[in-house]
Amino acid sequence: MKAMFIPKRMFTTGLIALGVVFGFLWADEPQISLSSGVDKSRITIGDLITYTVEVTHDKNVKVEMPGMGANLGGFEIRDYRVHEPKIKGDKQISRWDYIISTFFTGEFEIPPLTITYTTPGDSTAKTLTTDKITIVVESVKPSEAGDIRDIKPPVEIPSNLWQQVRWFVVCGGLIGLAILGYVFYRRWKAGKGLLLRETPPRPPHEVALERLDILKDSDLLEKGEIKPFYSELSEIIRQYIEGRYYMVAMEMTTTEIRNGLLAAEISEEEHGIFETILDRSDLVKFAKRIPSAEENEEVLDLAYEIIHRTKVILEEAMVENSEGTLEEKGVAVEAEDSTANSGKEIGGV
C-alpha cells in the first residue's frame, strides 16, 4: 500500500484553520474561578470563624450563592455578609462571608459548597464546588497557673472598720452631691423644673404602627428600592421587639433574636410570624433576593398582625386613692382576641 502524500501547503493551511476554530471556541467560553478559605483553622469552643467564598468571573456571567440556607456541616451560620462586587480589568470579583461557630469540640469539616452560574444565551445552570476545609475546635484551655490552690485562711477584720472606709464614704458622697448639683444647675438654666420628671416613653406598638404606616405610604416599592424597604421593615420589627420583650434586638443576629423570643414564651404561631419577617428581610438585604409584589404586601400585613397580636395596651381604670376618692390609673393589659381584631385594624390601615 502506498502512503498518502499531503502537500506541505495544504497541511499548513489546515493547521491554521484548526487553530482559529479552537481559539474562537475558547474566547466564547466564559472564564470563572472559585476560591474559599477561613480566617482561622484552630479555635476554642464558641469562637466565631469567617468563612469566605470568592468568585472571579466575566461580567456577563450570573452567579448564585446558597445564602443563609447553605449547608456548612456541624457549624451554625451566625451572620451572612454580601460584599459589593469589585471590577478588575474585564473581570468581576464577587465575595460572600459566612460568620459561623460551633459549641462542640473535635475536628470538623466545612463540606464543599456548590455555587451555580449561567452564561448569556444559555439557560442551563452550571456548577462549581469549593474544597472542603478542616477546622479543629478545642475546649477552653485551663489556667496556666497550675492546679487549684488551697483556700486562704480567713482575713481578720480590723476592730475599727470605720477608720478604714470613712474617707471612701466621704469622697463618694461629695462626688454624688457635685453631680446632683450640676444636673440641677443645667435644668435651672434651661428653664426646667428641678424635679427629674421625664415624659413617659410611648408604647412600643404605637411607635411601630406609626412607622409601618409611613413605610406603607412611601413610594420605595414603586421606585424599585426593595432593599431600603426591607431594611426599614426589619428595623421597625427589631425596635418593637426591644421595647416589647426588653432585648437588645438591634445588636443581635436573627438567630439570637429567635432564641430570645423562645425564652419570652410567646406562642408558636407568633414566633413563626416574627421569624418569617426577619428571614425574608435578611434574604433581601444580604442575598439580594427580589420578592414578588404579593410577597411584599404579605410581609407588611404580617408586620401589622404580629404587633396587634403581641401589643400591651394601657386601659384607664378608676381606683380609690388614700383619701377615699376615685382617680384614673393606667393599667397594663395584654391585647386579647388579637387574631380577630388584627384583621379589622390591618384592613383599615
What is 157-217 written as a DSSP string? PPS-HHHHHHHHHHHHHHHHHHHHHHHHHHHHHTT--SS---PPPPPHHHHHHHHHHHHHH
- Determine phi and psi for 218, rounding to 5 degrees: -75, 165
Residues 48 and 132 in one domain: yes
Report yes or no on 175 lying in a domain: no
Report yes or no on 116 lying in a domain: yes
Q: Do 88 and 60 touch, CB atoms closer than 8 A? A: no
Residues 45 and 122 in one domain: yes
How far is residue 190's CA from residue 264's CA, in Å, rounded to a whole number? 41
Residues 227 and 306 in one domain: yes
Choice among 194-208, 222-236, 285-299, 316-330 with the minimum mean pLDDT: 316-330
Q: Which of 138, 155, 182 is the last residue of a domain?
A: 138
Report yes or no on 130 lying in a domain: yes
pLDDT surpassing 90 at residue 295: yes
Using one digit for the tens of pLDDT, what is the confidence trace for 130-169? 888 898 988 876 555 555 666 777 876 656 667 667 777 8
pLDDT surpassing 80 at residue 302: yes
Report yes or no on 150 lying in a domain: no
Q: Which of 108, 138, 168 is the last residue of a domain?
A: 138
Residues 219 and 120 in one domain: no
Domain count, the chain: 2
Residues 132 and 213 in one domain: no
Residues 129 and 211 in one domain: no
Report yes or no on 297 lying in a domain: yes
pTM of the model: 0.40
Determine the structural domain holding residue 93 and report its residue range: 32-138
Higher model confidence: residue 339 or residue 327?
327
Task: Return the CATH number at 114.
Answer: 2.60.40.740
Write the Ramachandran bin of 258: left for phi over 0, alpha for psi from -120 to 50, otherwise beta: alpha
Q: Which of 91, 120, 138 is the last residue of a domain?
A: 138
Higher model confidence: residue 256 or residue 20?
256
Q: What is the mean pLDDT of residues 17-44?
A: 66
Using one digit for the tens of pLDDT, what is the confidence trace for 32-65? 888 888 898 888 887 888 989 888 888 788 888 7
Percent of the chain with pLDDT over 70: 71
Model confidence at 314, pLDDT cuts 50, 70, 90, reads: low
How far is residue 264's CA from residue 271's CA, in Å, rounded to a whole number? 10
Write the Ramachandran bin of 100: left for phi over 0, alpha for psi from -120 to 50, otherwise beta: beta
How far is residue 177's CA from residue 187's CA, in Å, rounded to a whole number? 15
